[in-house]
Amino acid sequence: MPQMKEIIVVEGKNDTHTLKRYVACDTIETSGSGITKATIEKIRLASERRGVIIFTDPDFPGQKIRHIIEQAVPGCKHAFLPKHAAIDKEKGKVGIEHAAKEDILEALDSVKTTLPEEEREETPSWGELHEAGLLAGPGAREKRQKLGDELHIGYTNGKQLVKRLQQFQISRAEFYHAVQKLEEKE
């Protein structure tokens, strides 16, 4: 069983139970999107002492929690699970607790770190994203979803895609390699 040095931030108890089946880890639970100042302080301390991986559900509340934490505790690491890998087929619910072992381990193995703006290098431009059909036109949303899965940066809208590529320093070469893989799969 893999051992995690960092503390993993999840939304709830079910996420913690699922992770602990597959990974030796400690977690901090946000108890949903009503994240408190006390929880933020725990995350800040964990970040200073051991490092933090934010691993929230691939849905709107999960993105909201991720954003709140990133604003309060910059420099956290991020693990992303594709939405299709986190759906309970019977109930239609989305959550880390519904993911398979392989998907969880892949997400934790593909952790990305946000860099401060002053340390970011040049990444793909708006024009390059538009040329790749990721910002507008038929199928743009689906392409962004697949690209997010391929790069392990999660789903974003067009505006946030640029920011996420910059945050995680996805190089032009890495971007074009992922786009090429997607085109080959079509």
Q: What is the pLDDT of residues 70-105, one digit of tens each?
A: 999 988 999 999 888 888 888 888 899 999 999 999
φ, ψ (nearest 5 deg) of residue 181: -60, -40
pLDDT grade for 185, boundaries at 50, 70 and 90? confident
Looking at residue 136, its pLDDT comes to 86
- As a whole number, mean pLDDT of residues 10-34 equals 93
With 80 as the cut, is the pLDDT of residue 114 above it? no
Cα–Cα distance, 64 to 86 (Å, whole number) = 17
Domain spans in the chain, listed from the N-terminal domain onward = 1-114, 118-186
With 70 as the cut, is the pLDDT of residue 120 above it? no
Cα–Cα distance, 27 to 46 (Å, whole number) = 10
Asked whether the CA dihedral 29, 56, 163, 112 is positive or negative, the reply is positive
Looking at residue 158, its pLDDT comes to 85
With 70 as the cut, is the pLDDT of residue 119 above it? no
Q: Which amino acid is at 139?
A: G
pTM (2 d.p.) = 0.77
Which one-letter DSSP state was computed for residue 33?
A: T
SS3 state of residue 11: coil
With 80 as the cut, is the pLDDT of residue 121 above it? no
Looking at residue 182, its pLDDT comes to 86
Cα–Cα distance, 177 to 145 (Å, whole number) = 16
User: For the chain, first and last CA: distance in Å?
Assistant: 36
**Residue 137 falls in which region: left (phi positive, over 0), alpha (psi -120 to 50) or beta:** left
The winner for highest mean pLDDT among 9-23, 73-87, 131-145, 154-168 is 9-23
Looking at residue 1, its pLDDT comes to 82
Task: Specify the CATH number of the domain 1-114.
Answer: 3.40.50.140
- Decide which of 119 and 59 is more confident: 59
Looking at residue 18, its pLDDT comes to 95
Give helix 140-151 / helix 172-185 axis angle, nearest 10°. 120
With 80 as the cut, is the pLDDT of residue 39 above it? yes
